[in-house]
């Protein structure tokens, strides 16, 4: 494994506990929506690429699919196995780099990736690998963040950081950070077609997450993927500045929430194609 992959594995291992605790539960509803759109049925052999701790694999298994969950991080898969055990599910897990799946051609009825392949340095290769291992007539789907200008948690984060660093303008746009490389639905459609998929459809839906405090949102942000912490570290925020960012987030969440929880929405692209 290359040094880049080793570093990625270590980064995901580090955030695995927080990711499992606060991020995975927020994506279950979206997983069920995508699985319904893709037409997953009982008995199908389903591959989850960059599975994390099971936000997609667990719902797929609950629908009666035979699930293989793959991820670069062994600690993520350890958390996934715990989730599966708690729900009485049998999910096979294998540590694997999605850029080069150690799987035979045409062996799955369906392959999916939720907020996974969108993070790959060579995202087109990741999609091609998913297509390779799916049987003719099988389906491939990818779930990715859409228009960053409408992702409310990003607006909250940028605003909070600007409270201590007014010059901060947000995430770079050219090129965009990896989590946003499939934000344009046309890009996702083009990558699917280039990988050999047919009858490609990309639809944009909305995911809503509820946060009661700024701490809840902060924990979600820094646990969601290593890139957020990388951006914050790049700004070299002091301990006091981080505290101020969290306080500003708390004020923003409280203002949005009123007497309940703050509901933050994100546009999400769901691309589906047939091999």
pLDDT digits (tens, 9 = 90+) for 214-223: 899 999 998 9
Report percent pLDDT > 70 for the chain: 100
Helix or strand run (H / E) with residue 220: helix 214-224
pLDDT of residue 266: 96
pLDDT average, residue stretch 256-272: 94
pLDDT in tens, 148-187: 999 999 999 999 999 999 999 888 777 888 889 999 999 9
| Strand-pair category, 262-274 with 134-145 | antiparallel
Count up the domains in the chain and report the number.
1
Task: Assess whether pLDDT exceeds 80 at residue 202.
Answer: yes
Task: Assess whether pLDDT exceeds 90 at residue 227.
Answer: no
Contact 69, 92 (CB under 8 A): yes
104: Cβ–Cβ under 8 A, 6 or more apart, which residues? 133
Task: Assess whether pLDDT exceeds 70 at residue 85.
Answer: yes
pLDDT of residue 232: 81
pLDDT average, residue stretch 124-128: 98
85: Cβ–Cβ under 8 A, 6 or more apart, which residues? none
Sequential DSSP letters for 63-109: TT-EEEEEES-HHHHHHHHHHHHHTT---EEEE--TTS--S-TT-EE
pLDDT of residue 156: 94
pLDDT in tens, 2-22: 888 899 999 999 999 999 999
Rounded Cα distance, 179 and 245, in Å: 22
Task: Assess whether pLDDT exceeds 70 at residue 206.
Answer: yes
Residue 229 or residue 245, greater confidence? 245
Q: What is the separation, in whole angstroms, between the first and last Cα of the chain?
A: 29
The band of 1, judged by pLDDT with boundaries at 50, 70 and 90, is low
pTM attached to this predicted model: 0.95
Rounded Cα distance, 159 and 253, in Å: 12
Rounded Cα distance, 103 and 129, in Å: 9
Contact 50, 117 (CB under 8 A): yes
How many C-alpha atoms does 260 have within 13 Å on its Cβ side?
Answer: 6
* Domain region containing 164: 3-274
Q: Please, which residues bridge with residue 143 across strands?
A: 114, 270
The domain that holds 254 is classified in CATH as: 3.40.50.150
pLDDT of residue 43: 98
Which residue in this structure is represented by tokens 């700024």? 214
The band of 28, judged by pLDDT with boundaries at 50, 70 and 90, is very high
Rounded Cα distance, 7 and 97, in Å: 13
CA 100 to chain centroid: 19
Q: Walk across the sheet containing 45-49 and list its strands.
A: 92-95, 66-71, 45-49, 108-114, 134-145, 262-274, 198-211
Contact 51, 71 (CB under 8 A): yes
Task: Assess whether pLDDT exceeds 80 at residue 258.
Answer: yes
Rounded Cα distance, 26 and 162, in Å: 26
Helix or strand run (H / E) with residue 50: none
Contact 177, 258 (CB under 8 A): no
Q: Which two tokens stand for residue 194?
A: 């280039």
């Amino acid at each position: 494994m290359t040094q880049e992959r080793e570093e990625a594995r270590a980064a995901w291992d580090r955030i695995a506990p927080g990711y499992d605790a606060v991020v995975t539960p927020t994506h279950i509803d979206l997983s069920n929506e995508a699985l319904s759109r893709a037409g997953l049925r009982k008995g199908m052999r389903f591959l989850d690429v960059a599975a994390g701790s099971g936000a997609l694999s667990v719902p797929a298994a609950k629908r009666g699919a035979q699930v293989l969950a793959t991820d670069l991080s062994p600690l993520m898969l350890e958390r996934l196995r715990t989730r599966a055990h708690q729900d009485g599910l049998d999910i096979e897990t294998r540590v694997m780099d999605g850029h080069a799946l150690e799987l035979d051609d045409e062996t799955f009825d369906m392959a999916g990736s939720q907020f996974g392949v969108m993070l790959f340095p060579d995202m087109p290769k990741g999609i091609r690998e998913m297509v390779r291992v799916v049987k003719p007539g099988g389906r491939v789907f990818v779930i990715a963040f859409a228009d960053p200008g409408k992702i409310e948690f990003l607006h909250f984060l940028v605003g909070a950081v600007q409270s201590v660093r007014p010059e901060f303008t947000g995430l770079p746009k050219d090129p965009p950070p990896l989590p946003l490389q499939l934000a344009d639905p046309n890009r996702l459609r083009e990558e699917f077609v280039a990988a050999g998929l047919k009858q490609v459809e990309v639809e944009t839906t909305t995911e809503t997450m509820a946060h009661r405090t700024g701490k809840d949102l902060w924990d979600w942000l820094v646990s969601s993927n290593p890139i957020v912490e990388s951006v914050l570290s790049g700004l070299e925020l002091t301990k006091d500045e981080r505290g101020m960012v969290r306080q500003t987030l708390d004020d923003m969440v409280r203002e949005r929430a009123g007497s309940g929880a703050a509901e933050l929405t994100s546009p999400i692209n769901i691309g589906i194609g047939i091999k």
